[in-house]
Amino acid sequence: MLYALMGLGLSLITGILNIPNFAHGALFAVGAYLLVSAATAIGNFWIALLVAPLGVALLGLAIEYAGIRRLYAAGHDYQLLFTFGLALILSESIILIWGPIGYSHLPPPILRGGLDLGFTFYPKYRLFVMVMAGLLVLATWLFLEKTRYGAIMRAGIENKEMVSLLGIDIHKLFTVAFALGAYLAGIAGALTVPIRGVNPGMGVDMLGIAFVVVALGGLGNLLGAIAAGLLIGVAQALVAGYWTEASTVVIYAVMAAVLLVRPQGMFGIR
């Protein structure tokens, strides 16, 4: 589910802005770390969960405004280098601010412990994450499908020129899209904290997965990203049960296999 969130955010950014956002994983990490700090400072998990992703969204706004905005005309190579450099800056800053060792953080009291599902005990918090992430995906989906602004965004994926010709400020659209994508990454990061804790490398791992999801789902294909995210998540969970070390490799292997058969991804249009 979290993968779907990440994939959705990245798909949005890459689809609308048409840039390779290699900082997406770092945004995920920032979200996680912000949650830790906020939760520790405020003392309330729920408020922190609200606040942290907004912080990431703000960061996204700043990034888009200060940097990415200037690069739309530049080639992918420079955009890549920029977001890559950004990722480095962010991850190193995380180490500077929070130290190189990871933390773990307990879920809020309501969600501790497991739920008896009859055939197995399942951690309550994980269930919560699934539900929460699912709701977020749904909410984003509804926003994009049902609201006017969402429709504009989707149109922007299809045809930027047309959208700007219709008198819509394409730059604002880009900024919002990036901020939204950042928000999704941030909240995914925040949600993940009680499950896996935080560590400075978490951004990088997530980045790769996010790209796999987007590649499989089709660039800009939001439904595809969701579906691919779910597929990858399930595949990984299954494999982790049998052969833990290979679980990450499996994700990439699945991607390679799918792309061999269908170069456009599962849902991409050639």
Residue 255 binding another protein, by CB under 8 A:
yes
Q: In this complex, which beta carbon is closest to another protein, that of residue 41 or of residue 62?
A: 62
Residues whose CB is less than 8 angstroms from the CB of residue 113 and which lie 6 or more positions away in sequence, other chains included: 123, 124
Of these, 50, 74, 152, 235, which contacts another protein (CB under 8 A)?
A: 74
Q: In this complex, which beta carbon is closest to another protein, that of residue 79 or of residue 175?
A: 79
Contact between 31 and 190 under an 8 Å Cβ cutoff? The reply is yes
Contact between 67 and 86 under an 8 Å Cβ cutoff? The reply is yes
Residue 245 binding another protein, by CB under 8 A:
yes
Residue 18 binding another protein, by CB under 8 A:
yes
As measured in angstroms, the least distance from the Cβ of 43 to another protein is 30
User: What secondary structure does DSSP assign to 127-181, as a single string?
Assistant: HHHHHHHHHHHHHHHHHHHHSHHHHHHHHHHH-HHHHHHTT--HHHHHHHHHHHH
Of these, 154, 208, 266, 267, which contacts another protein (CB under 8 A)?
A: 208
Residue 114: its H or E element: strand 114-116
Q: Pick the stretch among 124-132, 169-177, 207-215, 226-234 that binds another protein (CB under 8 A).
A: 207-215
User: Can you count the helices (H) and strands (E) in the chain?
Assistant: 11, 2
The span from the CA of 48 to the CA of 60, in Å, is: 18
For residues 79-98, which are near another protein according to CB under 8 A? Answer: 79-82, 84-93, 95-96
Residues near another protein, by CB under 8 A: 14, 18-20, 22, 67, 70-71, 74-82, 84-93, 95-96, 204, 208, 211-212, 214-215, 219, 245-246, 248-249, 252-253, 255-256, 259-260, 263-265, 268
